[in-house]
Amino acid sequence: MPPVTIQEVARHAGVSAATVSNFFNWPDRLSTGMAERVRSAVDELGFVPNMPARQLRTSRSGMIGLSVINASNPFFAEMVVAVEHAATEKNLSVMVGSTHESPQQQRQYLRMFEQFRFDGIILTPFDDNLQQAHEIAARGTPVVLVDRTDDEGLLPSVGTDHEAGGYLAARHLIEQGCRRLWFVSGPRQVQQMVRRLRGYQKAVDEAGNVSLEVLEFPDLDVGFGREAGRQIADRDPQDRPDGVFGGNDLQAIGIVAELVDAGVDVPGEVAVIGYDDIVFAATTARPLTSIRQPSREIGAAAAEMLFERLLSPSTPAQQQLFQPELQVRASTRR
Amino acid sequence: MPPVTIQEVARHAGVSAATVSNFFNWPDRLSTGMAERVRSAVDELGFVPNMPARQLRTSRSGMIGLSVINASNPFFAEMVVAVEHAATEKNLSVMVGSTHESPQQQRQYLRMFEQFRFDGIILTPFDDNLQQAHEIAARGTPVVLVDRTDDEGLLPSVGTDHEAGGYLAARHLIEQGCRRLWFVSGPRQVQQMVRRLRGYQKAVDEAGNVSLEVLEFPDLDVGFGREAGRQIADRDPQDRPDGVFGGNDLQAIGIVAELVDAGVDVPGEVAVIGYDDIVFAATTARPLTSIRQPSREIGAAAAEMLFERLLSPSTPAQQQLFQPELQVRASTRR
DNA sequence: GTGTGCTTGTGAATCGTTTTGTCCGGAGGT
DNA sequence: ACCTCCGGACAAAACGATTCACAAGCACAC
């Protein structure tokens, strides 16, 4: 059976193709009798509209692309849900892609979004290169940045102040009496890491009598967190840090798990703080102190920003910045 | 600036549209000089191919749709990664949708996948109604089921034996000396829950002197797990269960967290076991015993099955069943 | 009977690609 | 010198929908 088109439905109902099209798009242009005839023909043949064809004609896809760093990180997962929710209300669908800290993957997804003529794109970039995003926006597909501002001010953005977050983390550790601080980081290209470190460093510098060491890992997941934890536990107690800031909660959770397994006292010997405040932060062996980012609000705000640009593409680019909050739990409370 | 088409590139390069098309799809049909001219025209104009148009012509989308219950559940998140990985190797892109236990959402995504003429669909259904999936398959879009078999045998499927998993869970708890068992469940329509319960029940029946109570919650997340934990903690100690099986790890993690917070001894007073063995199962206050499903293998197998059907749509439907494994940790080890 | 206005339905052009068949010019064979 | 062959380029016909401008039908009034 060949795929059934609008033409066949028309023939079957004894009307023209235009009428069938109107049945779907301008129902009030049909008389009730006609509508009924079309409806039954559609049902009988099991007609399924061909979106690519419709899209070609109307040049609207009803889709928005969402590129995040890692969709299985609960922080991004929540953001995705918020975006989907907002999009559904506007009759839009969301396609999400996880770049897993790979520039090629990011390029790939962006190119795909543009080629499929998505109505708009929300991007969580992780490196410094916004060139592709600028090009796409210039060619007419609205782009909104998340978790990162555009220095050139061309693209709207929403995110949290990572530098402030890093500062909060260090201040808190120092106030708890920590003097030998570590920063366990993801890849250097990830801008967010750089900013958090900058704030962290600032508080360390201000304190004066505090040391800082940075450990870099290729990925921000629980596994590498454990790896970091093991490195800490393996050291002589006097060489260990007494305060550790994990690049995100995934890493911090891994660190805590490994330290506890190794019998290191958390927070007594080593205090640990994370970033994002994901739901699992509160359920670990030592409930994790974390810097909370409002993932849902960020997602919703990004979606709203994008919708505005869909309506009026030429409005100047806004920047929205949320402030992170310190959420204290047992992993740092001495 | 109007969007640039293949025609404009052709004009700019002084060739025909067909030649530009060949440049992309049959590069070896062009003489080297010609290829160079086209390439530079493409670059200069910033040409981006229009996929919907190409799709209309070729009727191949290069996309596969993946509908899961909850993409932020690490179990599904890992599965998604595996599918994406397999798809990328075949030059396909994946669009994932989270149905969040809503039949409407599931219908919506499936309809969308079909309307966009995706090359194939992988579906994790959560209720009994496979009618839509059957219809779609009959109209020519291959569908592979995950985590659920098709009783009519029309659709291929891959998943784990949930009944065996439930049985394992109960056997283990009973062996640890538990006699008052609970099953904390998600919604009843979720087939997986029913099967797990069936196996659980079976082991209880076999044991003879063991009681079973079932608690149902509207969603399978940490929040409702905490809710369940609170209900347990609020009871008189002699009315409490001494062994609890969480519908999945998310719920089980919530249960453990709440019990520990309330000062209930886990596993001494109440042993807790989960399902899925997600990465966070090992990092909780009492590392969680769980029934492991091989999420990556399942995703990869589903993708492979789909690819086979893309090549030869009429091969009989296979069914692949993985066996779950018991992973013992502190939450049940007395 | 003609003109006016309104509702409903239609024919045909169009969106941006791919693909088929054709055409052209030069190389090679006899 | 003639014929054949072939690589490389092109013109034009799809693909399946939407939409614009127009036509048919009808009611009503003059």
- Give dist(CA A167, CA A177) in Å, integer: 16
Q: Which residue has the higher pLDDT, A33 or A50?
A: A50
Q: What is the pLDDT of residue B67?
A: 96
A contact test, residue of B222, B279, B284 with most A CBs within 10 A: B279
Average confidence (pLDDT) over A140-168: 95
* C-beta separation of A34 from A19 below 8 A: yes
**Alpha-carbon distance B38 to B279, whole Å?**
50
Both tokens assigned to B242: 């001494």
pLDDT beyond 80 at B47 = yes
Q: Angle at the Cα of B309 (from B134 to B294), degrees rounded to 5?
A: 90
% helix, strand, coil for chain B, step of 5: 50, 15, 35
- Dihedral, A272, A273, A277, A280 alpha carbons, nearest 10: -10
Whether omega before B27 lies within 30 degrees of 0, making that bond cis, reads no
Give the pLDDT confidence score for residue B101 in this predicted structure: 86
In CATH terms, the fold of domain A162-294 is: Rossmann fold (3.40.50)
| B296 close to B281: Cβ distance less than 8 angstroms | no
Domain covering A58-161+296-323 in this structure, CATH number: 3.40.50.2300
Give the residue from B211, B173, B171, B164 showing the smallest Cα distance to B192. B164
For chain A, domain boundaries: 6-49, 58-161+296-323, 162-294
d(CA A56, C1' D19) / Å: 13
pLDDT at B127: 85
Provide φ and ψ at A326, rounded to 5°.
-80, 130
Task: Give the model's pLDDT for residue B126.
Answer: 84
Q: Which residues touch A328 (CB under 8 Å, ≥6 apart)?
A: A172, A289
Better-scored residue on pLDDT, A3 or B214: B214
Residues contacting residue B62 through CB under 8 Å, at least 6 positions apart: B91, B92, B93, B119
Q: Which residues of A touch B114 (CB under 8 A)?
A: 48
For chain B, report the end-to-end CA distance as a whole number of angstroms: 72
3-state secondary structure of B291: strand
B229-277 pLDDT per residue, tens:
999 999 999 999 999 999 999 999 999 999 999 999 999 999 999 999 9
Q: Yes or no: say if B134 and B156 are a contact pair by the CB < 8 Å rule.
A: no
Q: Are B268 and B308 in contact (CB under 8 A)?
A: no
Confidence tier at A176 by pLDDT (50, 70, 90): very high
- Measure CA to C1' and name the residue nearest C12: A18
What gap in Å lies between CA A125 and CA A5, rounded to an integer?
A: 41
Q: How far apart are CA B108 and CA A18, in angstroms?
A: 26
Q: Which nucleotide's C1' sits nearest to the alpha carbon of B56? A: D15
Assigned CATH topology for domain B162-292:
Rossmann fold (3.40.50)
pLDDT recorded at residue A101 = 86
Element (H, E) at A205: helix A191-207
pLDDT surpasses 70 at A1: no
Residue B92 CA to residue B303 CA, distance in Å, equals: 11
pLDDT-based confidence at residue B128 (cuts at 50, 70, 90) = confident
Give the mean pLDDT of A73-102: 93
Distance CA A152, CA A150 (A): 5
Which amino acid appears at position B190 of this protein? V
Residue B111 structure tokens? 């309809």
Assigned token pair, A102: 């790979």
**Predicted local confidence at residue A127, as pLDDT:** 85
Asked whether B122 and B65 are in contact (CB, 8 A), the reply is yes
What pLDDT score does A128 carry? 83
Contact yes or no for A86/A300 (Cβ under 8 A): yes
**Cβ–Cβ < 8 Å for A80, A105:** no
Contact state of A80 with B93 under an 8 Å Cβ cutoff? no
Q: Is-same-fold flag (A6-49; A162-294)?
A: no
Is B117 in Cβ contact with A50 (below 8 Å)? yes
Q: Among residues 274-293 of chain B, which lie with CB inside 8 Å of chain A?
A: 279-280, 282-285, 287
Cα distance between residue A161 and residue A165, in whole Å: 6
Average pLDDT along chain B? 95
Closest residue to D13 (CA, C1′): B57
Taking only the tens place, the pLDDT of each residue in B153-211 is: 999 999 999 999 999 999 999 999 999 999 999 998 888 999 999 999 999 999 999 99
CA–CA separation, A293 vs A301, rounded Å?
13
Residues 4-63 of A with CB under 7 A from strand C: 15-19, 22, 29-31, 33-34, 53, 56-57, 59
Whether residue A3 is predicted with pLDDT greater than 90 in this model: the reply is: no
CATH number of A6-49: 1.10.260
Tell me the CB-side half-sphere exposure of residue A222, using CA atoms within 13 A: 20
The answer to whether A72 contacts chain B (CB < 8 Å) is yes
Determine the Cα–Cα distance for residues A170 and A210; give it in Å rounded to an integer. Answer: 10
B58-160+295-323 placed in CATH 3.40.50.2300: yes
pLDDT attached to residue B213 = 96
Say if residue B1's pLDDT is above 80.
no
Indicate yes or no: strand C within 7 A of the C-beta of B24.
yes
DSSP conformational letter for B14: T
* Confidence label for A310 from pLDDT (cuts 50, 70 and 90): very high
**HSE value, Cβ hemisphere, 13 Å, CA-based, for B158:** 19
* pLDDT tens digits, B8-35: 999 999 999 999 999 999 999 998 888 9
Q: Using CA atoms, how far apart are residues B80 and A72, in angstroms rounded to an integer?
A: 9
Percent of chain A with pLDDT over 90: 90
Look at B125-129, B145-149, B305-309 and tell me which has the smallest mean pLDDT. Answer: B125-129
Residue B209 neighbours by CB under 8 Å, 6+ apart: B179
